[in-house]
């Protein structure tokens, strides 16, 4: 196993998935067995199951009263009552899904393993494939071979694109963020980045716009204030300021993995392994490490309707801040569970998703 694969496994551990589940998740486009033989998960619709709300959930997002949750085997769920009940969406693949973006009342995107990008135009009730890993390598390779002469280090990028193409559908997307129904970004393993300005009808590779020479995994992409940020392995933090075309590396006082980003125009937070929270109030120019009292990895974050910032850990901790991340308190909640995702669809309510499905918690 390469060092990159080991790093990806550590991410699976960080969301408290068992070793057996981690092996399945890393496996890429494995077969789904049916009566007529082998079928690729990219050709196999997600199976409808009454147990889907109790299965692994990796990503969640809310828009108005609706919450979407995505997880293993292509399961996508939607709820209009803050997670008290769930319905399962129609999904054309059974790849494991990792993240969801829900920028307006109608449009949503979900991404995950096997290079899959899904889009919904009906608030998450049905989905279609916009992009998948069997085509991704060829598309990326063709783009960089065509543009190599016009790009700095274009020949190197073309070689990297050929390597990606040879890997097929094995590389997962790890996060997705859309500013609106038109413009969005997906990031993933080995520093892969795609960008769209037409709602995903076309995706353009953006490796040449990112300061990531080691091709480190990128776990998060978020627009915060007027700027756009990415976070990943080895303290990787990148920023693209409004009007710029490049994601530039930012130095932070931590070299461990960062799993997520949250905040607003006044306060930027990056969080990750060993209870780490980094805070900047000047757009990433300087940072302060915020004590949390938690040693478990922080794997999910959300902002509540009453203005609190909430972070959740792989061990079931829920931390809340009322001062835009300057300090956090551990909430004394009953029934919390290991978290891979959280969302706050209504005041005083937090939905947690993880290896045991979803649970709705009332915040004190």
Is 168 a domain residue? yes
- Alpha-carbon distance of 81 to 100, in angstroms, equals 19
pLDDT at 37: 65
Rg of the chain taking only CA atoms, in angstroms:
19
**pTM of the full structure:** 0.90
Is 97 a domain residue? yes
Residue whose pair of structure tokens reads 């300021």 in the numeric block: 241
Is 311 a domain residue? no
DSSP letters spanning 202-258? S-EE-GGGB--TT---EEEEEEETTEEEEEESTT-EEEE-TT---BEE---S--S-E
Dihedral angle sign, alpha carbons of residues 50, 355, 136, 245: positive
Is 269 a domain residue? no
- What Å distances lie between residue 188 and 50, 90, 192, 235, 351, CA to CA? 30, 24, 5, 16, 25
Is 337 a domain residue? no
Domain containing residue 89: 1-177
- Alpha-carbon distance of 207 to 56, in angstroms, equals 31
Dihedral angle sign, alpha carbons of residues 206, 190, 72, 300: negative
The structural domain count of the chain equals 1
225 Ramachandran zone, left/alpha/beta (phi>0; psi -120 to 50)? left
- Alpha-carbon distance of 287 to 56, in angstroms, equals 34
For the chain, the distance separating the N- and C-terminal CA atoms, rounded to the nearest angstrom, is 45
Is 276 a domain residue? no
- pLDDT truncated to tens, each residue of the chain (364 aa)? 444 444 444 444 443 332 223 323 333 444 344 445 678 999 999 999 999 999 999 999 999 999 999 999 999 999 999 999 999 999 999 999 999 999 999 999 999 999 999 999 999 999 999 999 988 888 888 899 898 888 888 888 888 888 887 877 788 999 999 999 999 999 999 999 999 999 999 999 999 999 999 999 999 999 999 999 999 999 999 999 999 999 999 999 999 999 999 999 999 999 999 999 999 999 999 999 999 999 999 999 999 999 999 999 999 999 999 999 999 999 998 877 899 999 999 999 999 999 999 999 999 9
Is 162 a domain residue? yes
Dihedral pair phi/psi, residue 70, rounded to 5°: -130, 145
- Alpha-carbon distance of 160 to 144, in angstroms, equals 9
Is 80 a domain residue? yes
Q: Tokens at residue 217, please?
A: 């995994």
């Amino acid at each position: 196993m390469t060092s990159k694969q080991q790093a990806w496994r550590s991410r699976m551990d960080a969301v408290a998935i068992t070793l057996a589940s981690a092996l399945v998740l890393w496996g890429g486009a494995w077969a789904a067995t049916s009566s007529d033989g082998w079928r690729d998960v990219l050709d196999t619709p997600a199976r409808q199951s009454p147990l889907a709300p109790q299965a692994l959930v990796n990503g969640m997002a809310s828009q108005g009263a609706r919450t979407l949750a995505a997880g293993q085997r292509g399961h996508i769920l939607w709820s209009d009552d803050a997670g008290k009940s769930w319905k399962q969406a129609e999904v054309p693949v059974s790849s494991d899904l990792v993240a969801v973006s829900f920028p307006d009342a109608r449009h949503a995107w979900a991404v995950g393993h096997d290079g899959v990008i899904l889009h919904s135009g009906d608030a998450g009730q049905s989905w279609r494939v916009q992009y998948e890993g069997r085509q991704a390598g060829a598309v990326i390779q063709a783009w960089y071979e065509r543009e190599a002469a016009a790009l700095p280090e274009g020949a190197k990028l073309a070689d990297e694109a050929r390597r990606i193409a040879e890997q097929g559908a094995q590389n997962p997307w790890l996060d997705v963020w859309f500013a609106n129904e038109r413009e969005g970004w997906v990031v993933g393993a080995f520093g892969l980045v795609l960008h769209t300005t037409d709602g995903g009808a076309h995706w353009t590779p953006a490796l040449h716009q990112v300061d990531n020479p080691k091709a480190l995994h990128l776990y998060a992409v978020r627009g915060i204030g007027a700027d756009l940020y990415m976070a990943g392995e080895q303290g990787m933090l990148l920023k693209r300021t409004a009007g710029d075309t490049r994601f530039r590396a930012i130095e932070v006082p931590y070299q461990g993995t960062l799993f997520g980003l949250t905040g607003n125009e006044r306060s930027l937070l990056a969080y990750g392994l060993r209870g780490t929270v980094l805070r900047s109030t000047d757009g990433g120019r300087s940072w302060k490490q915020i004590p949390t009292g938690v040693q478990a990895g922080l794997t999910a974050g959300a902002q509540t309707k009453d203005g609190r910032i909430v972070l959740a850990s792989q061990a079931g901790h829920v931390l809340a801040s009322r001062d835009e991340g300057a300090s956090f308190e551990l909430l004394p909640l009953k029934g919390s569970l290991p978290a891979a995702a959280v969302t706050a669809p209504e005041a005083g309510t937090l939905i947690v998703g993880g290896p045991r499905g979803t649970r709705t918690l009332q915040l004190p």
